[in-house]
Amino acid sequence: MAHVERHHRKPCARDGCAHGFTRHGKSTKGACTVNGCGCTRWRADEDDRETWRARWRDPAGAEHAKTFARKLDADRYLAGVEHAKLKGAYIDPKLGRTRFGELAERWHNTTAGLKPSTRHAYRVLLDLHVLPSFRDAPVAHVDRLAVSEWLAALLAGGMSAARARDAFQVLSLVFAAGVDGGLLVASPASGVRLPKLTPTEMCFLDPGEVERLAAAIEPRYRVLVNTAAYSGARFGELVALRVGRLDLLRGTCEIAESATEVKGRLEWGATKTNERRTVRLPRFLCSELGAHLAGQPHERTELVFAAPKGGPLRHSDFIKRKFRPAVTAAGLDPRLRFHDLRHTCASLLIREGASVKAVQKTLGHKNATVTLDRYGHLFPDELESAADRLDRARTHALADPGRTRQVPPVAQLAGRAR
């Protein structure tokens, strides 16, 4: 049963006795037997300083205690403990003293099932932005204000809103793990206002600019540029593309795996959405791919876009040595990234009248909402033309006698006037 008891700090009346409360056996009865002390243990003199100790048992039956200077504070704390136990929100105070750094490492160990690139991104955000501020802090001592101050400091230091939101996401995931593990009642990251993202202008190429880029790059990579611009595949998906997944007669390409460079190593795995997709290829691209494969090994398991000495392409090396010089030679925007060829594919499809669903399937988005959020501004505004079509539909209905025959008037029934 939870209760509050008086707790004397003065050890005893014997001169020179230095025994603390624990050494005296936590009792006020009888003489002290520690090292033959023989003193009267605890006593309350008029000038004795005393405290109040709240004692309770947690839901598992373990006993806990906390000391206060006033009985009122001890009673209030104990009432809060009992209330938390009734609501099922009780947290062991010892668990709340767990250091944030320890919890962060435990959480990161649970992400082993994520893609290596995602785990690496989490690790970088933890080490650079999260742990330097929270590593030694007890998790129960971090409140919402501390999180808001940390986020504001990141922005004041020149960090972009997008990067700050990524760091906050990692912090929030760590605290969520603390809630799941019973270290916290609620996450201090919940309810924190995040910085607004500034829309960034995407780079799109028109067909002429794609041709200029393909002509400027090394000849063996021209078909790679065209495939990226007209299939919408990601760089990692093109690196992992194998000959057996191409059907040039039907004009299809199956995107089934990806190879991502993480800390200098290639990590092979499923696509970003963990789903396969089949992409339709233009006829000219099928011809180019056929000519490209004719000059290299084309067994079913061979890579379509291999490095000059064999093996898969490396993103960092290809961008630095091949793609960047080609962008400069073609006179294109120096901010152009290889990933912008994927955006180019989306813009070309939309310009040619492709539906949202067609664009989604080509790019491999999880759902059409992602496609609309990313490329919705590229779709033409049909509100004015839609209103015109509705007007024509009504005009046609009025001109059709069969649809607009007169309805006989409704007869009034005799009865009391209302």
User: Any idea what the CATH number is for the domain that residue 275 is in?
Assistant: 1.10.443.10
In this structure, is residue 164 part of a structural domain? yes
The whole-number pLDDT of residue 72 equals 86
Are residues 291 and 176 located together in one domain of the fold?
A: no
The whole-number pLDDT of residue 409 equals 65
Are residues 362 and 218 located together in one domain of the fold?
A: yes
Are residues 223 and 335 located together in one domain of the fold?
A: yes
Are residues 248 and 124 located together in one domain of the fold?
A: no
Are residues 105 and 154 located together in one domain of the fold?
A: yes
The set of residues, in sequence order, having a beta carbon less than 8 Å from that of 224 and lying 6+ positions away, is: 238, 305
In this structure, is residue 237 part of a structural domain? yes
Are residues 82 and 163 located together in one domain of the fold?
A: no
In this structure, is residue 284 part of a structural domain? yes
Q: Are 57 and 63 in contact (CB under 8 A)?
A: yes
Q: Are 188 and 144 in contact (CB under 8 A)?
A: yes
Helices assigned H by DSSP within 126-220: 131-134, 144-156, 161-180, 207-216
The whole-number pLDDT of residue 97 equals 87
In this structure, is residue 194 part of a structural domain? no
The set of residues, in sequence order, having a beta carbon less than 8 Å from that of 263 and lying 6+ positions away, is: 120
- Which residue, 149, 170, 190, 187, is CA-closest to 105? 170
CATH of the domain at 128: 1.10.150
Name the token pair of 200: 């960034």
E-strand ranges in 252-296 read 252-255, 258-262, 265-269, 277-280
- Which residue, 208, 211, 274, is CA-closest to 237? 274
In this structure, is residue 28 part of a structural domain? yes
The whole-number pLDDT of residue 14 equals 56
The whole-number pLDDT of residue 330 equals 94
Are residues 83 and 115 located together in one domain of the fold?
A: no
Q: What is the pTM of this model?
A: 0.70
The whole-number pLDDT of residue 23 equals 43
3 state SS of 231 = helix
Are residues 282 and 174 located together in one domain of the fold?
A: no
What's the structural domain count of the chain? 3
Given 180, 197, 224, the domain boundary residue is 180
E-strand ranges in 284-335 read none
The whole-number pLDDT of residue 113 equals 87
In this structure, is residue 190 part of a structural domain? no
Q: Are 329 and 221 in contact (CB under 8 A)?
A: no
Are residues 316 and 278 located together in one domain of the fold?
A: yes
Find the helix or strand (DSSP H, E) in which 100 lies.
Answer: helix 100-109
E-strand ranges in 229-297 read 246-247, 252-255, 258-262, 265-269, 277-280
In this structure, is residue 113 part of a structural domain? yes
Are residues 301 and 354 located together in one domain of the fold?
A: yes
Expressed as residue numbers, the domain containing 234 is 207-377
In this structure, is residue 95 part of a structural domain? no
pLDDT in tens, the chain (418 residues): 465 666 554 555 555 555 554 444 445 555 666 556 666 555 545 555 667 888 878 776 778 888 888 888 888 888 887 887 777 777 777 888 899 999 999 999 999 988 888 999 999 999 999 999 999 999 989 999 999 999 999 999 999 999 999 999 999 999 999 999 888 888 999 999 999 987 777 888 999 999 999 999 999 999 999 999 999 999 999 999 999 999 999 999 999 999 888 888 888 888 888 889 999 999 999 999 999 999 887 788 999 999 888 889 999 899 999 999 999 999 999 999 999 999 999 999 988 888 889 999 999 998 888 888 888 777 776 666 777 778 888 788 888 666 555 556 666 666 655 4
Are residues 240 and 293 located together in one domain of the fold?
A: yes
The whole-number pLDDT of residue 49 equals 60
Please, is 260 exposed, middle or buried when counting C-beta atoms within 10 Å of its C-beta (0-12, 13-18, 19+)?
buried
Are residues 358 and 243 located together in one domain of the fold?
A: yes
The whole-number pLDDT of residue 24 equals 43
